[in-house]
């Protein structure tokens, strides 16, 4: 087996899914390896997980950047190649005042510029969001995807998209009275949890379930299925096409083993 794909991971929290990805690379579920882990949270345990595995780990502290911008608005410049007007026109966000939107975008763009500079030292084929709470701008998404035929940023969302985009997916599902919860693996686009869907996985909500029990079920499922979807990317089995409604969808190609050779085909 070859070395496989190089995976970068962005993470904000404990890194449960990161650990599942690292383990899946070791067992062969993913033909690849994690080459770096970046967190916006200096206290994220995911950084410790990475360093324990001798994986490069670094921090881009969004909150520190935000505070510096408040104190000295002009001290941290935007990335030199960033077209702010284009980002403003492309960014799909919930309603905000222009002043608030500008502040949020400036914070994100400066942080993303720092992130891209550090990531440049560690070439990657796929960037995986693993509980990363920051919304990525069109500038960052385009920089990662530029020159490649398929998207290169993958995310796991804690609902069955398109239901309940944004944070607290399991909480939103439970409060709405849903009988089924689940998670969605998708490629990242300019919207909020709205990119082309790779896979969706569901579980039943029982009458005595609480938020904690639903979240526990969900995280267990996420840690199982996320590596499998990354594995499909590593095997080049994800194909994008436009459906009859003009929406980009993902088809999964299937392997057919013929003696010593393998062919990839679609049903």
CA-to-CA separations, 102 to 87, 88, 105, 181, 237, in angstroms, rounded:
10, 8, 5, 35, 39
Per DSSP, the residues of 73-123 read TTTSPPPTT--HHHHHHH-------HHHHHHHHHHHHHHHHHHHHHHTTS-
Q: Which of 122, 157, 186, 254 is catalytic?
A: 157
Nearest of 151, 61, 137 to residue 104 by alpha carbon: 137
Distance between CA atoms of residues 246 and 105, nearest Å: 29
To the query of whether residue 186 is one of the catalytic residues in this protein, the response is no
DSSP classification of residue 140: H
Distances from the Cα of 131 to the Cαs of 11, 157, 195, in angstroms? 5, 8, 16
Give catalytic residue positions.
157
């Amino acid at each position: 087996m070859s070395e496989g794909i190089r995976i970068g991971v962005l993470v904000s929290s404990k890194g449960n899914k990161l650990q599942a990805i690292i383990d899946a690379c070791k067992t062969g579920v993913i033909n690849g390896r994690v080459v770096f882990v970046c967190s916006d949270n200096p206290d994220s345990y995911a950084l410790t997980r990475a360093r324990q595995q001798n994986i490069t780990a670094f921090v881009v502290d969004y909150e520190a950047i935000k505070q510096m911008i408040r104190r000295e608005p002009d001290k941290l410049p935007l990335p030199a190649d960033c077209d702010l007007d284009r980002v403003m026109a492309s960014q799909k966000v919930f309603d905000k005042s222009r002043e608030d939107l500008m502040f949020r975008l400036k914070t994100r763009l400066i942080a993303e510029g720092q992130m891209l500079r550090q990531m440049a030292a560690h070439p990657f084929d796929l960037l995986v969001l693993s509980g990363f709470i920051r919304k990525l701008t069109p500038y960052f998404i385009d920089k990662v995807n530029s020159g490649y035929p398929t998207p290169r940023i993958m995310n796991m969302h804690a609902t069955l998209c398109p239901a309940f985009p944004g944070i607290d997916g399991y909480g939103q599902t439970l409060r709405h009275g849903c009988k089924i919860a689940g998670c969605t693996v998708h490629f990242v686009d300019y919207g909020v949890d709205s990119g082309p869907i790779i896979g969706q996985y569901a579980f039943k909500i029982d009458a005595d379930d609480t938020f904690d029990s639903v979240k526990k079920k969900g995280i267990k499922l996420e840690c199982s299925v996320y590596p499998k979807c990354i594995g499909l990317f590593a095997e080049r089995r994800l194909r994008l096409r436009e459906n009859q409604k003009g929406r980009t969808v993902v088809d999964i190609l299937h392997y057919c083993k013929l003696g010593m050779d393998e062919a990839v085909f679609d049903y």
